[in-house]
Structure 1
Amino acid sequence: MSLTTSEELFVRKQQSVEVWQVIPLILAAALLTIGLAMFLSGTEKLIDVVQPVIVVFGGALAGLLVTFSTNHIGQALQLALVRGVRGGTAPEQMVRALLKICEVSRRDGLLGVADIRSNSDQVEEICFLIGQASDETAIRFALERRLASERLYHQMTADVFLFTGIYAVLIGILGTLLLYVSQAEPGVVGATFLPFVCGVSLAILMCVLLGRLRAANMRELIIAEVAYRGGAMILEDNNVQRLWNQLNLLVPPGMRR
């Protein structure tokens, strides 16, 4: 009996995230920015850092709202939570799913593969292509379309956090200049640099998040390669052991567990 809705292939995928689920991420970024700014500036009083952080966060948010649409920003926050914080999908999950698909193809044939249901649209598309006995050209086209879509999605998301870091630093510099000019007495004091330090602190956090998103994007590209190339391998030779050996070669050593 083929895998149906009662016995699905589960692959952890990107899920929709409600707005309230993103709020803890924003609060964590604010608290980390405050802590990092206090450490870098040597400030011991929390109240001295709160105002510059509010100015930097507010200015960066205003810049983002002018630059991007609210839907764009919302999608970027969702992806940051799913991939940047939770880690996204592991290539081994897709390998295991393809091995199960291969077993079904040996047991029930291509029609059995077409009946497989999964929580991953990528797995279901592979099952559809296998069930239709698609040729290599069709599978290659589907792979290239998936890779292009993934790269575009990642670039759109990365732009939001890249501009967040840029706006934070620029607003921090502007705040520091305004404090320096408005001082009653000439000279530079530690509090003058707090807006700049807060902006740099937020930019550092954005760099960390961008690094995690970049790593997650590389995993997603590898997963797509594994999925579609694995589908072509199943159509060519549905030997489970040979499929496992070939798919493992597609996963870089640094992404294996």
Structure 2
Amino acid sequence: MDFASLIGIVSGLSLIISAIFLSGDIKSFINVPGMMIVLGGTMAATLLTFTFREVAAAFRAAAFAFTKDREDPNTAVETMIRICNVGRKKGLLELGNLDTDSGFLKKACGLIADGSEEDVVRAALRTEIDSLKMRHFAVQDVFKKMGAYAPAFGMLGTLIGLVHMLSKLADPSSIGPAMAVALLTTFYGSLLSSMVFLPMAGKLKARTISEVMQLEIMLEGAIAVLKGNNPIMVYESLSSFIPIKERVPLEKMDIRQGDI
């Protein structure tokens, strides 16, 4: 699991629960009608905005982003240098037989092996990157919308609670429960928005940036291979995508030929 996400979730919930315990009884913060208003309303509005498939895809992507570590861009640089070595020693045609799990890299190598021009390779791979950005934006938008809907339904629950309270002012015993619904729905909406939905959108955006950088490295690496650049030139070109402090020196990379 992504340790940053784990630390954030655990520390955030721990601080909130601790504050509740220090200020009173945690049972006072549990209100089923309020939860129904916020959760039910948020999900209903989300399903009205997006299709069920889009919502399901968003939650699958969130689970992946929170459970898988970010890929090291140095690995992509290393891979492209190894491909460069294959192309220089065995010929570009050999790249068409390259065995890799990356569909993007497989496509890049296939275009090179087919003898495509640089502008054709760049345009085809750029289209892949732009399409990925659009798909990821749609996933992020689901959680951004949920982050906006949750506080709105929290406010709606507050209004419902106030209406109930004002309609029963003659009965003092009903004022407390109605006020609880009024206040707790706002609390639930704010908590879900700030601790769940918006962080999910932010995490997915960060993963998109990371994945796009990986693909950009592969794109520029493919162009370098097509031009017949030597491994040192490929390394110097591709390592520019990585912060200086995070770069792995060329001499420490495993750039021998083999499985990519």
The two structures have a TM-score, normalised by structure 1, of: 0.77
Greater percentage in helix: 2
Q: Does 1:216 align with 2:197?
A: no
* Among 215, 234, 247, the residue aligned to 2:225: 234
Structure 2 unmatched ranges of 5 or more: 1-8, 170-174, 249-260
Cα–Cα, structure 1 residues 122 and 254, in superposed 2: closer, same or farther, change >3 Å? farther
Q: Does 1:45 align with 2:26?
A: yes
Give the CA deviation at 1:131: 1.2
Q: Which amino acid aligns with 1:247?
A: L
Give the CA deviation at 1:62: 1.2
Partner of 1:17: none
Partner of 1:22: none
* Among 74, 93, 105, the residue aligned to 1:123: 105
Q: Structure 2: how far apart are the matches of 1:76 and 1:160?
A: 7
Q: Does 1:198 align with 2:188?
A: yes
**Which digits, 9 at most, give the CA deviation of each residue in 1:143-170, with x for residues without a partner?**
3202210221122111110111111111
Q: Is the 8 A contact 2:88 2:228 kept in 1?
A: no
Partner of 1:246: 237
Q: Pairwise mapping of residues 25-174 of structure 1 onto structure 2 (< 5 A)?
A: 36=16, 39=19, 42=23, 44-46=25-27, 48-51=29-32, 52-174=34-156
Q: Does 1:181 align with 2:163?
A: yes
Instruction: Give aligned-pair identity as a percent.
Output: 25
Q: Structure 1: how far apart are the matches of 2:208 and 2:188?
A: 28
Partner of 2:251: none
Q: Which amino acid aligns with 1:99?
A: I
Q: Is the 8 A contact 1:94 1:227 kept in 2?
A: yes
Cα–Cα, structure 1 residues 82 and 104, in superposed 2: closer, same or farther, change >3 Å? same
Q: Structure 1: how far apart are the matches of 2:226 and 2:105?
A: 15
Cα–Cα, structure 1 residues 238 and 50, in superposed 2: closer, same or farther, change >3 Å? farther
Q: Structure 1: how far apart are the matches of 2:218 and 2:36?
A: 45
Which secondary structure does the structure 2 equivalent of 1:119 belong to? coil
Q: Which amino acid aligns with 2:147?
A: G
Cα–Cα, structure 1 residues 256 and 66, in superposed 2: closer, same or farther, change >3 Å? farther
Give the CA deviation at 1:208: 1.4
Cα–Cα, structure 1 residues 46 and 240, in superposed 2: closer, same or farther, change >3 Å? farther
Q: Which amino acid aligns with 1:90?
A: D
Q: Which amino acid aligns with 2:214?
A: I
**Which digits, 9 at most, give the CA deviation of each residue in 1:179-204, with x for residues without a partner?**
12212347995663111111011111
**Which digits, 9 at most, give the CA deviation of each residue in 1:81-139, with x for residues without a partner?**
22244244332232122122112112321122110011110111111122123211112
**Which digits, 9 at most, give the CA deviation of each residue in 1:5-30, with x for residues without a partner?**
xxxxxxxxxxxxxxxxxxxxxxxx9x
